[in-house]
C-alpha cells in the first residue's frame, strides 16, 4: 500500500510514497536511539543556535512552505505563511527560554543539598495530523529537541511532503543526523513503534478515537503520552455583549483553516432574546467568505482536506437538519471538482443532534439559544469535549470569573477567539485529552523530573 498526497482543490495526485519496510523502520529507531546518546550532552547554547537557525529558515521560506500546505491539504496561502511564521515564533521562544525552564530547582530539606533536575528521556514518537501540517509538528518539536530528546515523526499520510520538508529544514538548520526523522509508515504500523522498548514517549494530536487507540497502546507498554484530541468549543455570548463584536469573534474563530481546527469555535450559545439579530450578523459574515483556489491570495475558504471528510461533515449537517436544526446558509455540496463545502450556518441546535454532540470539522456554525445565563453555561459544559471555550461580554471582570471558575475546558478566553500561544500551556480535559504542550509545561512533559538528595 502506497502513501499518497492528493491535491484537494482538483483531485490530482501530487506524489506517491513507498512506505517504509519493517527493516527501514528498525534502522530509523536504531539511529534515533544512537543519536540521543550524543544529543542529550549537547550544551543548551548549541541547541538554542539550531532552533534559531530553524526559525530563520521558516521565515525566509514561508511562501514556499505555504505553497506546499496549499497543495497537500488546501490551506489558503496567506494562512500558510502565517503558520510558517508561527512555527518560527515557537522555535525562537524555546531557544530563548528552554534552558531556563529546565534549570534544576533547589528544594530545602534536611539534606545538605536537594533539588529536582530535568533530563531528557530519549526517543519520542510524534503522531501528527494534517490540518496544521507545520505548526502541529513544530509546537512538539521545538521543546522536545531543546530538552535533549530525539524525535521520530509519523505525520498524516496525505501531508508526507510537509513531513519531509520539515526534516530537510531541520537538517539545514544544523541539527545532527537522525536527531529528527520522518517515518513514512501507515497508521497500522504505529503500534509496533510504540511497543518498541527504545521509544520513551508518545505525543499525539488527532481525533478522540485515535487518542483512545494510542493511549491504550502506550499504557500497555508503560509509555508516557500527551494527547491533544478533538474539541467542540463553546462560545458563550452574554446578554450585555456587543453583538457586532461577538459575531466577528465567533466567525473568525469558526472559519480559521476552513473550520478544520480542534480549537475552532463550534457552538455559539446566544441569549434567546438576541437570537435573530445574532443569526443575521453571522450569516452576513459567513456569506462574505470567498471560497476558491487556495493558491489565490483572496481565498478565505479553501477545500476540505479530503473528499471523505467532506462527506462526513455533510452527513452531520443533514442529520442535524432532520432532527430539527434550521439551516440558515449553505448545507449543499457544490458541483465541480475539489473537496469544497460551503460556509454553513445551523440554528436551533439542540442536544441529540450531531451539530451539538459531535465535532464538526469544517466551516459549519451551530447556534444554540439559551433562555438565561445559567442555562448558557450549562449548555457550554454539556459536552464530552473540553479543549477550548470563550465568553463574550461587556464586563471583562465577569467574563474572567466565568472563564476561570465556570467553563470546563483547558483554554478559556474572554472577548477573543481561542488560539495557541507558545507562552501559554495548551491542552484539554475530558475527551479532549491530557497533558500540555507549549510554555514551561510543554517542555517538561518529556523529561525526567529527578530528585537528587545529597546528605552530609
Contact by Cβ (8 Å): 171, 145: no
Question: Catalytic residue positions?
Answer: 228, 262
- Burial class for 214, CB neighbours closer than 10 Å (0-12, 13-18, 19+): buried
The contacts of residue 67 (CB under 8 Å, 6+ apart) are 77, 80, 295
| H-type alpha helices, 200-242 | 208-220
Contact by Cβ (8 Å): 118, 449: yes
Could you tell me where in the chain the CATH 3.40.605.10 domains are found?
Answer: 3-229+432-454
- Separation CA 424–CA 421 (nearest Å): 6
- Separation CA 171–CA 168 (nearest Å): 5
Question: pLDDT-derived band of residue 1, with 50, 70 and 90 as boundaries?
Answer: confident
Could you give the 3-state DSSP secondary structure of residue 41? coil
Q: Which of 364, 292, 359 is nearest to 329 (CA)?
A: 364
Q: Is a pLDDT exceeding 90 seen at residue 456?
A: no
**Residue 69 parent element (H or E):** helix 62-73
pLDDT in tens, 362-403: 999 999 999 999 999 999 999 999 999 999 999 999 999 999
Which pLDDT belongs to residue 72?
98
What mean pLDDT value characterizes the chain? Answer: 98
Contact by Cβ (8 Å): 454, 113: yes
- Burial class for 448, CB neighbours closer than 10 Å (0-12, 13-18, 19+): middle
* Domain 233-421 fold: Aldehyde Dehydrogenase; Chain A, domain 2 (3.40.309)
Cell numbers standing for residue 259? 473550520
Question: pLDDT-derived band of residue 296, with 50, 70 and 90 as boundaries?
Answer: very high
pLDDT in tens, 6-42: 999 999 999 999 999 999 999 999 999 999 999 999 9
pLDDT in tens, 57-116: 999 999 999 999 999 999 999 999 999 999 999 999 999 999 999 999 999 999 999 999
DSSP bridge partners of 228: 205, 433
Which pLDDT belongs to residue 254?
98
User: Which residue shows C-alpha cell 504542550?
Assistant: 437
Domain 3-229+432-454 has CATH 3.30.420.40: no
Could you tell me where in the chain the CATH 3.40.309.10 domains are found?
Answer: 233-421
What pTM does this model have?
0.97
Amino acid at each position: 500500500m502506497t502513501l499518497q498526497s492528493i491535491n484537494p482543490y482538483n483531485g490530482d495526485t501530487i506524489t506517491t510514497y513507498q512506505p517504509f519496510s519493517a527493516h527501514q523502520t528498525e534502522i530509523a529507531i536504531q539511529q534515533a536511539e544512537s543519536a540521543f546518546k550524543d544529543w542529550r550532552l549537547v550544551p543548551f547554547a548549541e541547541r538554542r543556535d539550531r532552533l534559531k537557525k530553524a526559525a530563520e529558515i521558516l521565515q525566509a521560506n514561508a511562501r514556499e512552505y505555504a505553497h506546499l500546505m496549499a497543495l497537500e491539504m488546501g490551506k489558503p496561502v496567506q494562512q500558510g505563511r502565517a503558520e510558517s511564521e508561527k512555527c518560527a515564533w515557537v522555535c525562537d521562544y524555546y531557544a530563548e527560554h528552554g534552558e531556563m525552564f529546565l534549570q534544576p530547582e533547589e528544594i530545602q530539606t534536611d539534606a545538605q543539598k536537594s533539588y529536582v533536575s530535568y533530563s531528557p528521556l530519549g526517543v519520542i514518537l510524534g503522531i501528527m495530523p494534517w490540518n496544521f501540517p507545520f505548526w502541529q509538528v513544530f509546537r512538539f518539536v521545538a521543546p522536545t529537541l531543546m530538552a535533549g530528546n530525539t524525535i521520530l515523526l509519523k505525520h498524516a499520510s496525505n501531508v508526507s511532503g510537509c513531513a519531509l520538508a520539515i526534516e530537510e529544514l531541520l537538517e539545514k538548520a544544523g541539527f545532527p543526523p537522525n536527531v529528527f526523522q520522518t517515518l513514512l509508515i501507515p497508521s497500522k504500523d504505529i503500534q509496533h513503534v510504540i511497543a518498541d522498548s527504545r521509544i520513551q514517549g508518545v505525543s499525539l494530536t488527532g481525533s478522540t478515537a485515535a487518542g483512545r487507540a494510542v493511549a491504550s497502546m502506550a499504557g500497555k507498554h508503560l509509555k508516557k503520552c500527551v494527547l491533544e484530541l478533538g474539541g467542540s468549543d463553546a462560545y458563550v455570548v452574554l446578554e450585555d455583549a456587543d453583538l457586532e463584536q461577538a459575531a466577528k469573534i465567533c466567525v473568525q474563530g469558526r472559519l480559521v483553516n476552513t473550520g478544520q481546527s480542534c480549537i475552532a469555535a463550534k457552538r455559539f450559545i446566544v441569549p434567546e432574546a438576541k437570537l435573530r439579530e445574532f443569526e443575521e450578523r453571522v450569516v452576513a459574515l459567513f456569506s462574505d467568505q470567498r471560497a476558491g483556489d487556495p493558491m489565490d491570495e483572496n481565498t478565505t475558504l479553501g477545500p476540505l482536506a479530503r473528499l471523505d471528510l467532506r462527506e462526513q461533515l455533510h452527513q452531520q449537517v443533514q442529520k442535524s437538519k432532520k432532527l430539527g436544526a434550521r439551516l440558515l446558509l449553505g448545507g449543499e455540496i457544490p458541483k465541480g471538482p475539489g473537496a469544497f463545502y460551503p460556509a454553513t450556518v445551523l440554528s436551533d441546535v439542540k442536544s441529540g443532534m450531531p451539530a451539538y454532540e459531535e465535532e464538526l470539522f469544517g466551516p459549519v456554525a451551530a447556534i444554540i439559544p439559551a433562555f438565561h445565563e445559567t442555562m448558557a453555561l450549562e449548555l457550554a459544559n454539556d459536552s464530552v469535549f473540553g479543549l477550548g471555550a470563550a465568553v463574550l461580554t461587556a464586563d471583562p471582570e465577569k467574563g474572567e470569573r466565568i472563564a476561570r471558575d465556570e467553563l470546563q475546558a483547558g483554554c478559556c478566553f474572554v472577548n477573543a477567539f481561542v488560539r495557541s500561544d507558545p507562552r501559554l500551556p495548551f491542552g484539554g480535559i475530558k475527551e479532549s485529552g491530557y497533558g500540555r504542550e507549549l510554555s514551561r509545561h510543554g517542555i517538561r512533559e518529556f523529561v525526567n523530573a529527578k530528585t537528587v538528595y545529597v546528605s552530609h
